Structure 1
């Protein structure tokens, strides 16, 4: 299994807060974006790759490809930061045998079908069900916008 140092749900994917705060805290040198739509769109992939510092490896994969990649042997010194827009891809890779210990829930903005349940976090009934299933698989999910914020376990919020 590859060395996963941080897993985060944040619909903004690669943005300033990720680059400045979470990468520094995690010491990650690889960012794995798991998003089926972005993985199949050449333009979106190029935008995401261009948004990252040149010294950082960035991969954009479908959940199926990510599960295969993450179950491979880790390379020396590799530290992977996984990021998704929504919980579904994480539930899918867990069901495919990828071991995650905790997930940091960041920004999921308001949209049709979503209700706000915490600061900067809204979710649809399906997304809430996905998070419940992830928790039932033994993975903790915490709300935490930036590393300096206290972790808030979402189990009670769901």
Structure 2
């Protein structure tokens, strides 16, 4: 049974900030990416494997596999584990299927039509907000922090300012 060091949404998944800053702040022996598309793409798996630090194991799971492996043995004995999602819907789906965790950090999430910049380079739409609010109401501690040296904001302050009707 592995401990979770950090569960984070970051649309870029493995990149410089994750490798240099977050893994120092949250030491991990394994990085798990949860994403149905990437789990089924052998080329992208190799790209992320090459981008991973040499001493940190990488695993990529579908949302179904993440939930199953979490229920079976909390991702095994090699830990602590750093878990990455690329967006809110993928995280929400994995959570609802049974990969339940206590804390969630949101980092870089890109913009687009209907998306609102809520802090730094974190953009949400109303659908994201509804999913986050549902999980927050059942006890998930949700924070927003792009890098360790930027200020941390909680979901309530983001919700009150940008999504007061959710």
- Common fold, TM-score beyond 0.5? yes
Provide the C-alpha distance between the structure 2 equivalents of 1:101 and 1:81, rounded to a whole number of angstroms.
14
Deviation at 1:54, TM superposition (A): 1.8
Q: Which residue of 2 aligns with 1:137?
A: 138
Provide the C-alpha distance between the structure 2 equivalents of 1:47 and 1:113, rounded to a whole number of angstroms.
30
Q: Which residue of 1 aligns with 2:23?
A: 23
TM-score by length of 2: 0.86
Q: Say whether 1:93 aligns with 2:94.
A: yes
- Show CA shifts across 1:97-136 (max 9, x none): 3331111110012123322222211112222222112212
Deviation at 1:76, TM superposition (A): 4.2
The two structures, once aligned, show a CA RMSD in angstroms of 1.7
Q: Which residue of 2 aligns with 1:36?
A: 36
TM-score by length of 1: 0.90
Q: Which residue of 1 aligns with 2:150?
A: 149
Deviation at 1:86, TM superposition (A): 0.8
Q: Say whether 1:71 aligns with 2:59.
A: no
Q: Which runs of 5+ in 1 are unaligned?
A: none
Q: Which residue of 1 aligns with 2:49?
A: 49
Deviation at 1:153, TM superposition (A): 0.1
Deviation at 1:78, TM superposition (A): 1.4
- Show CA shifts across 1:28-58 (max 9, x none): 1100101111111111111111100221111
* Equivalent pairs, count: 158
Q: Which runs of 5+ in 2 are unaligned?
A: 160-166
More deviation in 97-106 or 16-25? 97-106
Provide the C-alpha distance between the structure 2 equivalents of 1:36 and 1:101, rounded to a whole number of angstroms.
22
Q: Which has the higher helix share?
A: 2
